[in-house]
Structures are given as structure tokens and as C-alpha cells.
Amino acid sequence: MKVGPGPLARAAAMMNAAIYDAESAYQRTWHTLKYEPYLEAPKYSGAPLLEGPQEEERVIGHTARTILVRLFPGQQTLINTRFKERFGHEWTDFDILKPLVAEPVAERMWNARYTDGSGAGGSYSPENKPGAWRPTGNAGCTSDGDAVDPKWGLVTPFALTSATQFRPATPETYGTYEALVASPAYRAQVDEVRRLGSVNSTERTTDQTAAAWFWANDADGTYKPPGQILDMTRIIANQRNLDVYPTARLFALVSLAMADGAIAEWDVKYQTPIDLWRPVSAVQVGLNDPTWQPLGNTPCFPAWASGHATFAGAWEAVLTDVFETGQIPFTASTDDPKSPVKNRTFSSFKQAAEEDANSRLWLGVHYRWDAVDGLQLGRNVGTYVVQHELQPL
């Protein structure tokens, strides 16, 4: 599906926070509730006297399916097929847990996000001057109207008090495009990405090229950046042998942080004085070098700040807090068909996050300050989420 990073992160947060609330209701009913729910987690009303077979998994499965088909109605067949593959029967078969837990939890989440502004449309008209974002001319990005989700920075956050809460100062430091493009810092940024991000760069190392494609996942048909972050979360949860309850909490925290990270960095992209043009525009137009091409395909929205970097920083902050250390070696995987390797191994969460952020420079689609600001923005968001949501009781 052609869905931008913001809506995908929102969907992940709605699904995983709903799963967590359903799991919390299960824990409150039959075991011990250890953490605050995200919205609510009441005991089942009219629950049987004894816990049923595979009840925990059934609660999770029905909740996930219920919220997903509302988020992606065009994917109902796929979602229902996955449910049957997992549980061995149709979702329509009678299960008391649907009306007792799954459907109320999903409805509560749906209602909580119904007026969050995620459906807002509206046109986008960038300024016509050097430094301001413009369509890059690649497939699907030929007009101003192709700009992806220009109002996403106005969506109500899941945990933050405001999308601007951790807004980096860099874009507002310059204030005008004229001041920006005249600055030595801007010229240095453009020169670096011109050298390192070119499709035929002689300065980018073989390993940097491999990392650029490993973290890309921009093409339709891949699991996109939020999917890769969730896959890494799965890998770490399995590696640490987490039980279902802490796993549900971990996925909810990561997803909430990614969702708010997307809102915060889309605020930077569209709601600050500088809607920065992409390197391909800066080089081809600004430096009058029309033959220059980036290694990767440029997404159709402003450069500042990097979404990959923001997601990575948020993930790093959440996992470091949850596991009380960031020094956990692990091997991540990729879904990008152009990646020359399927797996890369990292010594820490920080190393993985920083490589993810820098990969956008090596791919030629971001400047270094996009990565630096995005990474810090994500870390700030992730830290705030783990300090204010799903707290121990």
C-alpha cells in the first residue's frame, strides 16, 4: 500500500497500544496488573469462572485483527487470512473474548484517535526560491500536490504535550531561505552529500553503500522504516526471552514513540520557517549540476529532519530504558530488495540507530543535520514516552 511513514507509525501505535491494553485487561482479570494501561484495562465483565485455553493469545489476536481491519479496510482479506493461519479457524467463529475484551478495547482506541487530525487534507504550496522544498521530478513527485502528508505535524500526539515540544532549533536559526543558502554550514552540508551520496561516489565506502541500502526500505512492497524498527524490536524481545506481557508493553512503547516521533519530525518538515529542499534539488538546481543523481530514490517531502533518524532515536531511547542498558549485541535484518546483505550485526542500540541515521546521507537523500537533528529529536521523544506512559504500578 502507498502509505506514508506517519500514517504507518500511527497505525502501529493504535494496534500495539490496543494489544497492550487487551493484555493488561487479561492480566487484571486472571493474574497481576504490573503496569498502567495506555487507555483502560478493566476486568472482563461477565468473564467465565476459569481462564480458557490459549486465552491470552486469543485476546491479543482478536484485538489486533479488529483494529487492523478498521485501519486498513482494503486489506481485510489478507488480515483475516493471517488470523486463520495463526489460530487455525476463522475469526468469525464464536469466541466470548471478542465481545468481552477485543472489541471494546479496539473501539476505545478507535474513538480516542478518531478526531486526532490524521485525516486532514489540504494543499501545500512551498515557496519558490532556492533552499525551499520543491518536487524532485522522480516518479510520484512531479508537482506540489505530491508532497506527502503536509499536515501530519498537526496531528494530536499519543503521549507528547505538543508536536513542537522537542522541536530542534536549527531550522529557525536561519529564519529565511536567503540566510540559509548563504551560510557556510549549508554549503558544507551540500558539499558533503554531493560527495558521499552520489550514485557514482568514489568517497563512499563499500560498507557505507551496503548500510545505505540495508536501512532504506523506502520502496512500496517493503515493510517501510516503521516496519524495520518493529522487526528489530521483535528480534530483541525474542533474544531476551521476554514473556508476553513485557513484550506487549515493549511493542506499545516503541510504537507510541515512533508515532509521536513522526508527528514531531513532520512538524519540523512543514511547520518551521525552513521546508528544506532535498539534496538532489540543492545540487541539480542550486549548484547547477543537472547530471548529479543520489544513490537512492528521494521521498516526496522536505529533508529536515530525517524520519529514519527520528524513528531510530526513539527506538534506541525506549529499548535502552526498558532493558536498562544499550549495550546489547544483536543482528538486524532488512526488507529492501536492493540491499546486498540481508543481515547486519551491531554491538549496541546506539550503534544501530546512528548507522540508520547516517545511512540517509550515504543514500544521497538527506544532509547530515537532518540525521543529527532527527536522531536527537527521536531520543527526546522516546525518553519522554517511557517516562510518562505504561508506568510500573
Give the 3-state secondary structure of 73-117. Answer: HHHHHHHHHHHHHHHCCCCCCCCCHHHHHHHHHHHHHHHHHCCCC
pTM of structure:
0.97
- Residue 48: CB atoms within 10 A of its CB come to 12
As a whole number, mean pLDDT of residues 308-336 equals 98
- Cell numbers placing 146: 505530491
Q: What is the mean pLDDT of the chain?
A: 96
Q: What is the pLDDT of residue 194?
A: 98
Q: Indicate the pLDDT class of residue 80, thresholds 50, 70 and 90.
A: very high
pLDDT at 53 over 80: yes
188: left (phi over 0), alpha (psi -120 to 50) or beta: alpha
The two beta strands, 330-333 and 343-346, are antiparallel
β-bridge mates for residue 346, sequence order: 330
pLDDT at 103 over 90: yes
As a whole number, mean pLDDT of residues 261-282 equals 97
Rounded distance, CA 238 to CA 243, Å? Answer: 9
As a whole number, mean pLDDT of residues 128-138 equals 95
Q: What is the pLDDT of residue 173?
A: 87
Q: What is the pLDDT of residue 220?
A: 85
28: left (phi over 0), alpha (psi -120 to 50) or beta: alpha
Coil, helix or strand at residue 188: helix
Cα dihedral angle (80, 82, 84, 86), rounded to 10 degrees? Answer: -150
pLDDT tens by residue, 323-334:
999 999 999 999
Cα angle, residue 130 at apex, residues 179 and 367 outer, rounded to 5°: 80
Q: What is the pLDDT of residue 133?
A: 98
pLDDT tens by residue, 171-226:
778 889 999 999 999 999 999 999 999 999 999 999 999 999 999 999 888 999 99
pLDDT at 1 over 70: no
304 close to 269: Cβ distance less than 8 angstroms: yes
Rounded distance, CA 329 to CA 331, Å? Answer: 7
As a whole number, mean pLDDT of residues 300-309 equals 96
Q: Indicate the pLDDT class of residue 385, thresholds 50, 70 and 90.
A: very high
Q: What is the pLDDT of residue 219?
A: 86
As a whole number, mean pLDDT of residues 257-279 equals 97
- Sequence-ordered list of residues with C-beta below 8 angstroms from that of 205, at least 6 positions apart, any chain: none
